[in-house]
Amino acid sequence: MTGISTNKGVVNDLTNQFTSSLSDVSFSPKKSFTFSQSSAAAGLKGSLSSLASSISNFESYAASDVKKLAAIHQAIEKAERGKG
């Protein structure tokens, strides 16, 4: 049977790079557009809201993926220890 292995250094490096890059992905509008009822302002509000939601979803999914990567790594290590 072929063994499966994992490299803790690579997993940690990838996890750290991915997690630290998430702190650079953020969006928070500084102004509100309550002064205008124009369709242009309404369109901009909608676009900004959609962008904020997309970024929030990306951060959530990325954090979940990082946790899954760590869990897979740990499961492989555990399985390899059990073979010895």
- What's the average model confidence in pLDDT over 69-83? 86
Q: How far apart are the first and last CA of the chain?
A: 14
pLDDT at 30 over 80: no
Here the tokens at position 52 are 């904020």
Give 2's pLDDT tier (boundaries 50, 70, 90). low
pLDDT at 31 over 70: no
Q: For residue 82, what pLDDT is reported?
A: 79
Q: What is the mean pLDDT of the chain?
A: 81
Q: For residue 34, what pLDDT is reported?
A: 65
Nearest to 58 by CA among 81, 16, 15, 25: 25
Give 4's pLDDT tier (boundaries 50, 70, 90). low
